[in-house]
Structure 1
Amino acid sequence: MRQSQSVLYFIIFISVLFSYLNLPSDLKFSRKVMGKEFSFTLPRPRVNFKIGNWPSDPELNFKKGLDLQGGMQVTLLANMDRIDKGQRQTALDSVSSVISRRVDLYGVSEASVKTSLINDQYRLVVELPGIDKPQEALSLIGQTASLSFATPLYQTNPASPSAEPTLVDFIPSDLTGNDLSSAAVTFETDDRQPAVSLKFKDSGRDKFAKLTKAFLGKPIAILLDQSILSAPTVQSEITTGDAIITGKFTIDEAKFLATQLNAGALPVPIEILSQKNISATLGDASLNQSLMAGGIGLAIVIVFMCLYYGWMGFISVLGLLIYGLITATIYRLIPVTLTLPGIAGFILSVGMAVDSNILIFERYREEVRTGRSHPVALELSFGRAWNSIKDANLATVITGLILFNPLDWSFLNTSGAVRGFALTLLLGILISLFTGIVVTRTLLRFFYKGAKQ
């Protein structure tokens, strides 16, 4: 009994906490008491945490997908005819990295760039929510990456000729990405720390040797699309065509720099296969219609559960409300990108949560009809209904994993819309198992004393 009380207190705690986290906005209260006006603001909390490369939104806003927020989706085809087969995936990843960088510089928030391989076609799907100049964005992301090496330009202060010259700019040289063979992460350094190795072609070996000889002890900038990627200082003259960029890199930083360099070393022409524009008004209308349909369906379910199962049904509705709070909080914290298929997956998971309650309640009625007391019937109903609930949900989880395709297998689905549906469905099922077996069971133990009472 004491353990059940602890679980009940925990349920109350998370219900209050998650209700607070799901406040719609900063709430302002103002009221006059005995002629004096009292006002205060209850701010919605800001939560800022990061797990690896997985940050949360400090404002705890729902992250809307392209079909709800509006914007543009572009499918690009990467022309790999001039790229060796062994380097095509590396080249595709480099193109994806360059396009992501361009999108960030353009100022588009919440953009996504995904790669896929369909029938030997290397494709990229770029989603740009909230874009208002589609042609300008298309011209930006459709360009082939341009890599060049630039030499430093120094300027002497006329007022102080003896002072050290000041670095004022970098001037592009004749050494370009066409002269670079490849870049890769390496640990072959004195301190065994992550670094980036460069291998030049025969056409670039002599050019690079001249640069390192002329600018020994000075920085040489590496430019991608006219922006500085890195400006390493030349430590010695390099005549072999093999160089290493060292620094206090993390593994992720070294990988990122190598990917960016490969984008210029393996230039891939980009073609636009398709373009789809979605207006924000259409997205709002679709969201409102989906929420209306879901609200009507949920209301019908609540009325049915309360009328058919009475007090047990009402307690199960409380469990569904807690399920909704937990789900909404997880959507905000991860955050989950909400799309119309994703909302459909959530509504389907609600239906499965209700189905689990119905299996338990019908089993409870059967146990009561056999003459068992209320406490015994309640515990037996949960235990004996668990096998059916487990099998049904396990089959759906397996289907959801196949649709979500977490390992990116090319023979399975790679569509973002289908994955959004699968993700919300999987999360909903896992959360519904917790609320059905733990939350609803605990509430029934404390607040339902049998039909006769």
Structure 2
Amino acid sequence: MQRKGKKMKKKKSTILFLISVLVIGILAFTGFHGLTIGDYRFKPFTETINKGLDIQGGISVLEEVQGGNVDNKTLDRTIELISMRVNKMGVSETAVAKEGIKRIRIDIPGKFDSKEILDTVAKSGTLKFVGPDKKVILTGKDVKDSTAYTNDDNQPAIGLEFNESGKKKFAVATEKFIGQPIAIYMDSDLLTNPRVDAAITDGKAVITGSKTLEEATKQSEIIKSGALPVTLKAVSVQTVGATVGSNALSQSMKAGAIGTLFVLLFMLLYYRVPGIIADISLILYVVLVLGAFSLMNVTLTIAGIAGFLLTIGMAVDANVLIFERTREELRTGKSIKSSVHSGFHRALPSILDSNITTIISGVVLYSMGSGSVKGFALTLVIGILISIFTALTCTKFLLKLAIEVGILNKLSHFGVKRG
């Protein structure tokens, strides 16, 4: 009975091991090549991960606040409003960040017409409420807030709230133009043209007529972003060619692939069978990290790729610590199963210490840095967190199954000889 039980356990472990390897293989294939099932297509990472300015090229604009110093709160608000305005162009991976005390850097990947950028995003812009007599009633500076919601009739609507000056201007205009439209423009673009049904004297208006809540939300955000609290001037406009970016990407990917291949070969040749397990875990690690980048809408830059490649080495480092501790246990005469368990237990403090200190450094870099420094820090922290997971769960799980299956049951499999 006991022998039959061991046989059943070995069979179960074999099936589980093969399924695990197969799942990791399918995930890797899907991630790097894509997969079509029926009418649904799983896109490869090359299509789902946002590429930064230095990879796909684009426009980099440096804006400077005019008219003296500005506090951080106002500058942060300006950055938020510019980001909303950029999203109007459909460029979701644009980076808008503070640079120095009174400058804002706007990096727009995939766009190469600098005039278009300056005419739409980089200039301050003007939100105007225009009456049927073509006269400007009020501007974005008179708008306090704008929100989109679904009203009691289950229809999309936009709620407007004006400040004191806007409240007075709008009251006069709505009394004058009852039954007529008041158009809302962002520069020369017509956003909406609602009709005045009644005089509005409380400074709060409701705009209906949007086809969807998404459309209402977009219009609401543009209205809210129309009033930049400061005046900006473009002091630098740079165009990064797509050829330069694509060359940088291809060279980085080539270097990364060669480096990863050498790491896989080293683990295989030096640690034998455990090295194969580590290689499988490393493949899963790469897939999980790139998947996390895709889900989190990370914009990948050359610096970010460098951070990612660095974490591959750190992911292998965790396996090296585990295997070396396991070898030490094997040399004392313990069984393979006991040695693997003790190896993980003894390596855990070292793995956590080294990775936690690096995570702290990454968090500091992300919070205090800007631009490419943030990209490097973000990919570094994400990579380290996932490397800890794969080393302490996936590698341990696969090693346990390999021992039960019988493909990891000799000292020579670990490259160990007892004297």
Cα pair 1:196 1:257 within 8 Å, conserved: no
Matched position secondary structure for 2:142: strand
Structure 1's 439 and 230: CA in aligned 2 closer, same or farther, altered over 3 A?
A: same
Structure 1 position 283, deviation (Å):
1.5
Match of 1:167 in 2: none
* CA-CA distance at 1:360 after TM superposition: 0.8
Matched, 1:383 2:370: no
Query: SS of the residue aligned with 1:132?
Result: coil
- Aligned mate of 1:18, from 23, 27, 41: 27
- Cα offset for 1:21? 2.2
Q: Which residue of 1 aligns with 2:66?
A: 79
Alpha-carbon distance in 2 for matches of 1:114, 1:312: 46
Q: Is the 8 A contact 1:46 1:58 kept in 2?
A: no
Counterparts of 1:265-276 in structure 2, within 5 Å, are 265=227, 268-276=230-238
In the alignment, which residue of structure 1 is the partner of 2:198? Answer: 236
* Cα deviation code 1:56-89 (max 9, x no counterpart): x999533221111111211112336599998665
1:116 aligns with 2:98: yes
* Structure 1 match to 2:393: 438
Structure 1 Cα separation of the partners of residues 290 and 193 of structure 2: 45
Assess, with a 3 A threshold, how the Cα gap between structure 1 residues 316 and 341 changes in structure 2: closer, same or farther.
same
Deviation at 1:385, TM superposition (A): 0.8
1:46 equivalent in alignment to 2:41: yes
Judged with a 3 Å threshold, the aligned counterparts in structure 2 of structure 1 residues 392 and 111 are, in CA distance, closer, same or farther, namely closer
Distance 2:396 2:128 in 1: 66
CA distance 1:299–1:90, shift in 2 (3 Å): closer
Where do 5+ consecutive residues of structure 2 fail to align?
1-8, 414-419
1:8 CA displacement: 4.3
Q: Is the 8 A contact 1:71 1:130 kept in 2?
A: yes
**What RMSD in Å do the two structures reach over aligned CA positions?**
3.8
2:161 corresponds to 1:197: yes
SS of 1:223 mapped into structure 2: strand
Structure 1 window deviating more from structure 2 (294-303 vs 425-434): it is 294-303
- Identify which of structures 1 and 2 has the higher relative contact order when contacts are C-alpha pairs closer than 8 Å and 6+ apart: 2
Cα distance change, pair 241–354 in 1 and its aligned pair in 2 (3 A): same
Distance, in Å, in 1 between the alignment partners of 2:100 and 2:254 is: 37
Query: How far does the alpha carbon of each residue in 1:177-233 deviate from its partner, in whole angstroms, 9 at most, with x for none?
Result: 18x53422589xx98x9832113528x83x544432232244322222122334444
Q: Is 2:102 the counterpart of 1:142?
A: no
What is the Cα deviation at residue 24 of structure 1?
2.4
Q: Does 1:307 align with 2:316?
A: no
What fraction of aligned residue pairs are identical, expressed as a percent? 32
Contact 1:97 1:260 in 2 (8 A): yes
**1:380 to partner: Cα distance:** 0.6
Give, in whole Å, the separation in 1 of the partners of 2:266 and 2:45.
39
> For the structure 1 residues 279 and 300, does the alpha-carbon distance in structure 2 shift closer, same or farther, using more than 3 Å as the test?
same
Under a length normalisation based on structure 2, what TM-score does the superposition of the two structures give? 0.79
2: CA distance between counterparts of 1:177 and 1:116? Answer: 26
- Find the aligned partners of 1:442 and 1:186 in 2 and give their Cα distance: 50
Instruction: Answer whether contact 1:83 1:266 (CA < 8 A) is retained.
Output: no
* Residue identity in the other structure for 2:96: K
Q: TM-score, normalised by structure 1?
A: 0.73
Bigger helix fraction = 2
Deviation at 1:381, TM superposition (A): 0.4
Change (3 A) 1:248 1:380: farther
Distance 1:7 1:423, change over 3 A: farther
Deviation at 1:331, TM superposition (A): 3.1
Contact residue 58 and residue 108 of structure 2 kept, 8 A:
yes
Query: Aligned pair 1:416/2:416, yes or no?
Result: no
In the alignment, which residue of structure 2 is the partner of 1:51?
A: none
Contact 2:330 2:336 in 1 (8 A): yes
Aligned 1:94-243 pairs, distance under 5 A: 94-101=81-88, 103-104=89-90, 109-116=91-98, 118-119=100-101, 121=102, 123-152=103-132, 172-177=134-139, 181-184=142-145, 195-201=159-165, 205=168, 208-238=170-200, 240=201, 242-243=203-204
Q: 1:125 to 1:348 in 2, by over 3 A?
A: same
Query: Displacement, 1:267?
Result: 6.3
Separation in structure 1 between the aligned mates of residue 300 and residue 290 of structure 2, nearest angstrom: 11
Q: SS of the residue aligned with 1:149? A: strand
1:353 to partner: Cα distance:
1.0
Count of aligned pairs: 392
Q: Tell me the CA shift for residue 355 of structure 1.
A: 0.9
Measured against aligned partners, the alpha-carbon deviations of 1:350-399 in whole angstroms (never above 9, x if no partner) come to 11111111111111111111111111111110111111111111111111
